[in-house]
Amino acid sequence: MKSYRKELWFEVPARRGFVNITPQVNDCLKESGIMEGLLLCNSMHITSSVFINDDERGLLLDFEYWLEKLAPHSPVTLYQPHETVMLYQHNATGEDNGDAHLKRTIMGREVVVAVTAGRLDFGPWEQIFYGEFDGRRRKRALVKIIGD
- Contacting positions for a copy of itself (CB under 8 A): 1, 3, 5, 36-38, 40, 42-46, 51-54, 56-59, 61-63, 65-66, 68-71, 74, 78, 80-81, 85, 87-93, 98, 101-102, 104-114, 116, 121-126, 140, 142, 144, 146-148
Q: Report d(CA 64, CA 43) in Å as an integer.
A: 18
Of the pair 31, 148, the CB lying nearest a copy of itself is at 148
CB of 145 vs a copy of itself, minimal distance in Å: 9
CB 22 within 8 Å of CB 76? no
CB 24 within 8 Å of CB 124? no
What lies within 8 Å, CB to CB, of 62 at 6+ separation is: none
Of the pair 27, 35, the CB lying nearest a copy of itself is at 35
Q: 79: helix, coil or strand?
A: strand
Of the pair 13, 94, the CB lying nearest a copy of itself is at 94
The amino acid sitting at 99 is D
Of the pair 27, 144, the CB lying nearest a copy of itself is at 144
